[in-house]
Amino acid sequence: MPKIRTTRTKKPPEGFEDIEQILDEYTRKMRDAENESHEGKRKAEALWPIMRISHTRSRYIYELFYQRKIISKELYEWLLKEGYADANLIAKWKKPGYEKLCCIRCIQSQDMNYQGSTCVCRVPKAQLKKGTVVECVHCGCRGCSSDS
């Protein structure tokens, strides 16, 4: 979540006004997802919409800076510092093989049932049995392997 801006906080760098409306929309969607009823859902399933919104907001900022080169480095670093994007996730997206990574938990081996493995959503679809439905327990991803 982005930090709350007050009169004492540092002013955003130039160019923030151009993307502020879209970031406010992501904040509104995040608030709606947090307040949404989670009755009838599994414990982990209640967090999936929040994870998806966080992922898309981070991806938006990543694409603005690295692919479309629309925002300045100063604005990009300010957005990371203020919590608008996940810096660890963006760092992984820059590495080969992790371009489509859904969340950091999917590559952390200590969260898995089998020691030293990764999440099932990281397995390429070509290596899965035909008709197998893949759904990540952590974030609800259905496949974020670079080969899928």
HSE-up (13 A, CA, CB side) for residue 15: 15
- C-beta of residue 104 within 8 angstroms of C-beta of residue 58: no
Domain ranges of the chain: 12-94, 96-147
Tell me: the pLDDT tens digits for 13-35?
A: 999 999 999 999 999 999 999 99
Q: Where are the alpha helices (DSSP H) in 82-144?
A: 87-93
pTM equals 0.87
Average pLDDT score over the chain: 88
In the structure encoding, which two tokens stand for residue 69, read together? 């080169």
pLDDT average, residue stretch 88-114: 86
Length of the chain as a residue count: 148
